[in-house]
Structure formats: structure tokens, C-alpha cells
Amino acid sequence: MKSQILQTATKYMLPILLLFSVFVLLRGHYHPGGGFVGGLVASIAFVLHSFSNGTESTLRLLKYHPRVFVPFGLLLAAVSMFAPVFFGLPVMTGLWLDEPIPVIGMIGTALFFDLGVYIVVIGVVLTILFTISQYSD
């Protein structure tokens, strides 16, 4: 599906969509959004890119194969899950900084957990889609 228009469009769409996905991720704690949806939006951004430029070029763009994202995200989620244990609290207790940080807002373990979900979702969706699309080529 080589289309000049789509190629040009995705060039600008990709960063905007990714930024939007991060926005969805961060606002999740207060408004509709969150890691899962954010991850899906980010995956769609990459899928769109792969549609117009081919899977190979998206994989080159990503630098690492998306499957690498999966364990990384799982690790991040697991660490944020078990982090309270080191403070003598039960697993999954929310730990929060006292003051909000500009732009991002409140920072706590839940955010990192959500970030982990975000990364896993990107990894899983892209791994499945790219594997299938490479298989069908």
C-alpha cells in the first residue's frame, strides 16, 4: 500500500499520535484514558506507519523489535508493584510524591504501573501484528 499522501501524512501523524498516546496515559488518573488505551493509540500510530511505509521500515524506526518491549514493560509493572515492599508496606500499596510535578502531575507507583501496562500493550500488539504481516508477505 504505497501511497504518497499516506506516507507524507504518517510522517507527521506518527509523532503527534505518540504524543497523544502519552497524553492519554498521563491524564488517565483523573480523566478518561490510561495505560491500556494509551498503549493501543501508540500501537495504532506505528501500525499506520507500517501501512504506508512497510513493516520493515517501521521495525527499523523502532530500532528494537517490539517483542523486547514486552519483558521491559512487565518488569516495570512488577517493580512498581513490589516497590512498596521495600518500605515495609504490603504489595501494591500506592506510593506518592508529596508535591505534583509540572505538566506530568502527581507521580506515584500507580503511574509507573500504568507505564508498564502501556509498554506491554505496545509490545504485544506490535509483535502480533508485525509477525502476522511479515508472515503474510
CA gap 119, 114 in Å, rounded: 9
* 36 versus 59: smaller Cβ distance to another protein: 36
Nearer to another protein by C-beta: 7 or 20?
20
- Paired with 39 in beta bridges are none
Residue whose CB is less far from another protein, 12 or 135: 135
The closest alpha carbon to 12, from 45, 61, 56, belongs to 45
CB neighbour burial string for 74-83, b if at least 16 within 10 angstroms, e if fewer: eebbeebbeb
In the complex, the smallest distance separating the C-beta of residue 15 from another protein, rounded to whole angstroms, is 18
**Of 47, 12, 41, whose CA–CA distance to 28 is shortest?**
41
Looking at the Cβ atoms of 7 and 107, the one nearer to another protein is 107
Q: How far is the CB of 11 from another protein (least distance, A)?
A: 19
The footprint of another protein (CB under 8 A) covers 24, 28-37, 40-41, 43-44, 47, 51, 67, 70-71, 73-74, 77-78, 81, 92, 94, 96, 106, 108, 110, 113-114, 116-117, 120-121, 123-125, 127-129, 131-136
Alpha carbon distance 66, 59 (integer Å)? 8
